[in-house]
Amino acid sequence: MIWAQIIGQPEEWNPTAVYGDDFENAAESVIVEFLQATDGEIKNGAVLVWAGEGDAKVEKIYDWTADFEIPDVSGMEEDEEFDVDGSIELMEREKDGD
């Protein structure tokens, strides 16, 4: 299991457990949840992803940007679903001393 958490935002975000072993997929999953929760108003930030504990702990930080277009929903019903096209770009931060 991998844990991921949006960091560097004015509001603190709780860590989320993501099943699997791919750090980038875990990061993207949490970013999508964040974008939905903020109605896509924040389009860049950072996410901390980690697995394990103590000496076996592995962690990475990704800076991210989201590029997407929300269609004009002015004529739609309140509960009508719509698709959003977009992408998330992840850039792993270099660790100090590497």
Q: For residue 98, is it within any domain?
A: no
**2-25 residue pLDDT tens:** 999 999 998 899 999 998 889 999
More confident residue, 90 or 41: 90
Q: What region does 11 belong to: left with phi over 0, alpha with psi -120 to 50, or beta?
A: beta
Total domains, the chain? 1
Q: For residue 76, is it within any domain?
A: yes
Task: Give me the domain span that covers residue 27.
Answer: 2-92
Q: For residue 47, is it within any domain?
A: yes
Q: For residue 41, is it within any domain?
A: yes
Q: For residue 9, is it within any domain?
A: yes
Eight-class DSSP state of 70: P
CB 50 within 8 A of CB 59: yes
Q: For residue 97, is it within any domain?
A: no
**64-97 residue pLDDT tens:** 999 877 666 677 777 777 666 789 999 999 876 5
Nearest by Cα to 14 from 34, 42, 28: 34
Eight-class DSSP state of 91: E
